[in-house]
Amino acid sequence: MAPIDFSALLEMLGGKREVVAGLLDTFVTELATDIDAGRRAVADQDTEALRQIAHRIKGTSANLHASVLSASARELESACAEADYGLVTLKHEMMCDQSERLTDAIQHWRANPDNAAQ
């Protein structure tokens, strides 16, 4: 499954690539901040802070048609609620991997304006 559905996102925003690009730029910046904060929360074993970060990533990525990251964040949020630290660590790593995949896909999409639907 693709990390993001650019076609659906473009359609949702009236086909305006520049609007989508600006929105994705903001998202990538905020995602990087959240991922860094999540790493600190894991190091501090602060599952409540990590749960809040996962919740935010889950919602934002779902709104942007990035369903794989959203699902991964949902799993992390659930693991945090269960307070199973081994599972929390694993789900956090998985969310970070999906975050990287999504960021790479967005960078590729931004660098290839002729592929508006990809």
**DSSP result, 3-29:** S--HHHHHHHTTT-HHHHHHHHHHHHH
What pLDDT does 118 receive? 43
Span 35-62, pLDDT tens digits: 999 999 999 999 999 999 999 999 999 9
What pLDDT does 117 receive? 47
Residue 115's pLDDT band (cuts 50, 70, 90): low
pTM for this one?
Answer: 0.91
Span 21-30, pLDDT tens digits: 999 999 999 9
Span 55-114, pLDDT tens digits: 999 999 999 999 999 999 999 999 999 988 899 999 999 999 999 999 999 999 999 877
Q: Which domains does the chain have, with CATH numbers?
A: 6-108 (1.20.120.160)
Give dist(CA 88, CA 73) in Å, integer. 11
What pLDDT does 114 receive? 74
Measured distance between the N- and C-terminal CA atoms of the chain, rounded to whole angstroms: 13
